[in-house]
Amino acid sequence: MLVFVGLLPASSAAPINRHELVKRHNPIVRTVDPDAPLIVGNGNFAFGCDITGLQTFSEHYQRWGVPVEILSRWAWISDENPHKHTLADASKDFTLADGRVLPFPTRSSTPAGDWLRKNPRDLPLGQLALHCTKADGSALAPADIQEPEQSLDLWTGIVTSRFKIEGIPVVVTTACHPQQDTVAVRIESPLVAAGKLSVRLAFPRGHDVNVKNTPGLDWSQPETHRSELELPNLIVRRVGSTRYFVPIRASGSSPFAVAGQPHTFELCAQGGASRLDVAIGFQPVAKFSGVEPTAEEVLSASAYKWMHFWLSSAAVDFSGSTNPLAAKIENRIILSRYLMAAQMAGDVPPQESGLTCSTWYGKHHTEMIWWHAAHFPIWGNDELLARNLAWYQSQLPAARELAKSRGLKGARWAKMTGPEMRESPGGNPLIVWNQPHMVYLCELLYRNKPTAETLARYRDLVLETADCLATMVWLDPKRDQYVLGPPLWIAQEIYDQATSQNPSFELAYWRWALLTAQQWRERLGLPREAQWDDVIARLAPIPQKDGKYVALESYPDTWDNIESRHDHPTMLGPLGVLPGGPDVDRATMERTLDAVLAHWDWETKIWGWDYPMIAMTAARLGRPETAVEILMRDGPNNRYLPTGHVPQRSDEKMPKDPPPGARKREIATYFPGNGAFLAAVGLMVAGWDGCTTEFPGFPKDGTWTIRAEGLSRFP
């Protein structure tokens, strides 16, 4: 394990006390705060907790803050398709740079486009809540929770919720099994013994399909789905063609019984017991075992898993620093690492809201996989990135077919997709910066484990991705250069898709990915691919104007037009996310960074991953003060909630003065922000190839005391 120790005398170079580091950031919640839910999860399945440790006030949290739901990456639902909609029905013809005309499914507002975007979509698995018989007979409300104190023990992944109802104490303990999609709940209270406090499990029809981001649960039309108690300890769910099992293992209770409402089941204590233990599993048909662990077994397994997570991966300790930002950075590191490990590595790679709530109908946006997962191998969690890449490996046949349909070689990765790697209509099919990610991510794994086994495992991902990259450009005979696009929707999603050509970040990414793929060929004992070398040599240069890089060659108005200075400033990406090279001029990039800092439109629209991206550029340019300032800037979409979530304002235009009671955020939580933050801090602490400065992203002003263990460098 690599160890970096800086700004400390040699005698202080003791190993980081991982337990002390982690536990000082345990979230503690002392009010019914819908901006502070807690979550337990195993990467593929997660359970969100309100102040009761369950989902008793889920509607309140969804309406005013961050939802609490039960989600997995295996549960999907599709409506019937009586009109047999296909991508061809949502397609529009575009003229390519070489004069060919090809259809792309960009018409999202047509009946076909709408159906294909919404199907398949993620399916919420249920809702687990406390049911209380109050003295006046009214339903339990947030105002009834007295003296709450809720904490998440990050070292064990266990939530403990303490509160009173009508003056009587209640303690709820919640955890998730690390290998099975099972949540365990322990409830202790005299109210349980008195038969006044029980657990209710209810099943919605799904999400409100009319809401794209952060939809509520749909409790309408109960006759359209089925929830059957087939055994005293087994519920079978059927929603359309989707079927799954809910096995239950309880102690100190009667079996689950049908409650008085549709799709609702109740579990009560038995024999005057004051403690109720229950473990509830959610299993697809293909994985149903019928054997559920006990609540105690789930709690023990969770504690072991999270202790191993913190002990076996990287750590950065800022204790002893006098800079007021140090503790905030350390807190964001710990909370972000927990949230990402709990939600972002499952059967299908994550959506942008992880397993907290639904966004874009649960679809995986493949251009976000870098922000979702590149930090994992930097922080010593190669296995979590590998879980994401396993899905890409399984989808290679679909990616090959997509490439073939566009006249390309290799594998072309769809952008907005469900579990089947099918494109979703809209601008998605014209986005290309998702394509090189497979090369970058596989390279990170190889750098950590440079073996023949790693090369063999990821060979096809790298080489077939590169084959497609080399055929997505066209050699323009008039300029004797390879050009990228049109059609094209660049990473800064504001330009005309039909005419955009040669965006700065994408060009740099193409060149770097093809160079890296050539290295893979050489490592595999294969000759260099001549076509790739030709593209590398004759690819159009990164566009610039007046001594600064611009977004793209075809519209070089970045610094002339304020309307071109919102969304992502990805012209900084060639030296930041990417390591630069002969095609990147440092002086030009420095002027570009200064221009972004001084003149970007920060208020109109900027995303949570933009701040860390800019910080990475500043760090590589030797400007640590700027890197820290922008990383932690209190700006739109860079404000972290108490338990680590990063909400985002709407990605659509909203009125300046929304009506009373209107939601202030469209996206309740946005994990590309957390992942980008971890990537940026990793680069700022550990550096990159050829960097000789210790902790290059932090000022040497005497206010920082930093110890780091186990981090890997970036390329």
What is the arithmetic mean of pLDDT over 406-433?
Answer: 97
Nearest partner of 403 among 483, 476, 502, 469, judged by Cα = 469
Domains defined along the chain, listed by start = 31-76+123-309 (2.70.98.50), 322-651+669-709 (1.50.10.10)
What is the arithmetic mean of pLDDT over 492-505?
Answer: 97
Cα–Cα distance, 335 to 348 (Å, whole number) = 23
Nearest partner of 191 among 258, 144, 232, judged by Cα = 144
pLDDT per residue over 134-174, tens digit each? 889 899 999 999 999 999 999 999 999 999 999 999 999 99
The beta strands (E) that lie in 508-634 are given as 544-545, 548-549
Q: Higher-confidence residue: 253 or 42?
A: 42
What is the arithmetic mean of pLDDT over 687-711?
Answer: 98
pLDDT for the residue numbered 656: 55
Tokens standing for 388?
Answer: 């994401």
What is the arithmetic mean of pLDDT over 296-320?
Answer: 98
Taking residue 359's Cβ as centre, other Cβ atoms within 10 Å add up to 26
pLDDT per residue over 570-625, tens digit each? 999 999 999 999 999 999 999 999 999 999 999 888 999 999 999 999 999 999 99
Cβ partners under 8 Å of residue 237, min gap 6? 203, 225, 226, 227, 243, 244, 245, 246
pLDDT for the residue numbered 271: 76
Nearest partner of 277 among 298, 257, 252, judged by Cα = 252
DSSP 8-state class, residue 480: T
Cβ partners under 8 Å of residue 439, min gap 6? 462, 465, 466, 469, 513, 516, 517, 520
Supply the mean pLDDT for the chain: 94
DSSP 8-state class, residue 496: -
pLDDT for the residue numbered 43: 98
pLDDT for the residue numbered 260: 72
Strand partners, 476: 481
Checking phi first, is residue 336 left (phi over 0); if not, alpha (psi -120 to 50) or beta? alpha
Tokens standing for 710?
Answer: 């186990």
651: exposed, middle or buried (C-beta count within 10 Å: 0-12, 13-18, 19+)?
A: middle
Cα–Cα distance, 231 to 581 (Å, whole number) = 64
- For tokens 């590595």, name the residue: 345
Cα–Cα distance, 497 to 557 (Å, whole number) = 16
Identify the band that residue 269 occupies on the pLDDT scale cut at 50, 70 and 90: confident
pLDDT for the residue numbered 8: 37
Please determine, for residue 5, whether its predicted confidence score (pLDDT) is greater than 60.
no
Peptide bond into 487 cis (omega under 30): yes
CB-based contact 413:399 (threshold 8 Å): yes
pLDDT for the residue numbered 664: 61
Q: What percent of the chain has pLDDT over 70?
A: 95
Q: Write down the H helix ranges in 584-663.
A: 586-599, 610-620, 624-631
What is the arithmetic mean of pLDDT over 352-358?
Answer: 98
pLDDT per residue over 215-250, tens digit each? 999 999 999 999 999 888 899 999 999 999 999 998
28: exposed, middle or buried (C-beta count within 10 Å: 0-12, 13-18, 19+)?
A: exposed
pLDDT for the residue numbered 3: 42
Identify the band that residue 290 occupies on the pLDDT scale cut at 50, 70 and 90: low
Cα–Cα distance, 472 to 602 (Å, whole number) = 33
CA distances from 114 to 72, 109, 225, 250 (A): 24, 6, 23, 43
Checking phi first, is residue 612 left (phi over 0); if not, alpha (psi -120 to 50) or beta? alpha
pLDDT for the residue numbered 253: 58
Cα–Cα distance, 367 to 432 (Å, whole number) = 8
What is the arithmetic mean of pLDDT over 280-292?
Answer: 82
Rg of the chain in Å (alpha carbons)? 26
**What is this structure's pTM?**
0.96
pLDDT for the residue numbered 148: 98
